[in-house]
Amino acid sequence: MRGRFASARRRPTPALRLEPVVTLALVALALVAPWPRLAVAGTKPAFDARFDFLYIAANEGDGSAGHVAVAFGDRTYDFGRRDDGLLTLDRSASRDFRYRYAVRGNRAIRRLHVAVTAATRELLLGAFEHRYDVQQRDLAALKGARDASDNGSARAIEDAYRYELLGRNCVSELFGTVDDALASAPDGAMAASTRLLGGHIAPGGLTSLPRVAAAAVRRTWRVVAADEIPSYRRYRVGVLERGRPWVALRESNVLTSSIYRRSEHDSIFLFFTDGAVAARPLLGAVNGVAGLLVTAAGLAVAPVDRGALLVGGVRGVVYSLPELAFVNIRKGTFPDATPDDADALVGAEDCEGTVSPPG
């Protein structure tokens, strides 16, 4: 974590005047000690471990641009914006993460499996754990400052964790934490990232967009395989339509679907377009017209329902516009689905098999 609330780094000590032979010995020890798997010249490190970079597909609301995370086995880390505008690191059981995003959020999770050494995996995991621990202490201090009306201290902590659309978001902080993990490498974070991950991805710029970040990871890091955990609705439709092709037609719209029931957080629309690429502009136009009609009706009943129908109609129009350009964002949500539904999605991955690593 950067800033006054980040874990402090020691300043380098002045160079000691030693005999040349002793100096060379100390330099060699510094190069070898932090990276034992790479100590023997001419040996190739064994990439016998992995971690997963996750790209979570977009959906309406806060997830309109997509999302990213990293998973180390049964533990997943991602940065999210809180209601008070702060960007914080969340640590979840991987099962709970799948339930929150793939099931309730109805968003496919694209997994890129990155091959690393066991030592590198532990190094990265330790960096995310350390950042989470530092954050928890800072947030406890923030609560204390707010309770004590210490506005100066509270503002300093808030500034260190403030969310920014491109400057400080879920992507930039994830890559920043990876760089922090490698910062102590003798040859620097960039060179260490190339050695240990296959390449270096600098935070910032267009890479701050989740979809662009996922493409950069696949192109740059040592990605050896990729698969996708399907969204909850797409998975359920796939199960129901086995041997019954008419089911896909029934489940293509909100009026006849046996799976989907509109949540109060969803916009109003008629057709699902996440699986209909070719017909997406046409279906998006129909969804847009439906949104306009509902918006007009919402104006009439606004005094009765406090604008709920009006808001749903306006949002329906807004999320129909990308569909006209073949882009799907809206997918519907399933807030009443159970955690057990997350387990069914594992094993249903659309696996691509082995992917050639960069270089």
Domain boundaries, the chain: 45-229, 254-335
- Which amino acid, residue 239? V
CA dist., res. 74 & res. 314, Å (int): 40
Contact between residue 342 and residue 102 where contact means Cβ atoms under 8 Å apart: yes
Contact between residue 273 and residue 323 where contact means Cβ atoms under 8 Å apart: yes
Radius of gyration of the chain (CA): 24
Contact between residue 101 and residue 80 where contact means Cβ atoms under 8 Å apart: no
Q: What are phi and psi of 202, to 5 degrees?
A: -80, 130
pTM: 0.83
User: Does residue 112 sit in helix, strand or coil?
Assistant: strand
List, edge to edge, every strand of the sheet that includes 67-72. 87-93, 75-81, 67-72, 49-56, 109-116, 223-229
CA dist., res. 147 & res. 138, Å (int): 14
The tens place of each residue's pLDDT in the chain, 359 residues long, gives 444 454 443 334 434 433 444 333 433 333 333 333 333 344 567 899 999 999 999 999 878 899 999 999 999 999 999 999 999 999 999 999 999 999 999 999 999 999 999 999 999 999 999 999 999 999 999 999 999 999 999 999 999 999 998 789 999 999 999 999 999 999 999 999 999 999 999 888 889 999 999 999 999 999 999 999 999 999 999 999 888 989 999 999 999 999 999 998 899 999 999 989 999 999 999 999 999 999 999 999 999 999 999 999 999 999 999 999 999 999 999 999 988 877 777 655 544 444 334 33
First to last CA, the chain: 31
CA dist., res. 178 & res. 195, Å (int): 13
- Which residues neighbour 35 within 8 Å (Cβ) at sequence distance 6 or greater? 119, 185, 186
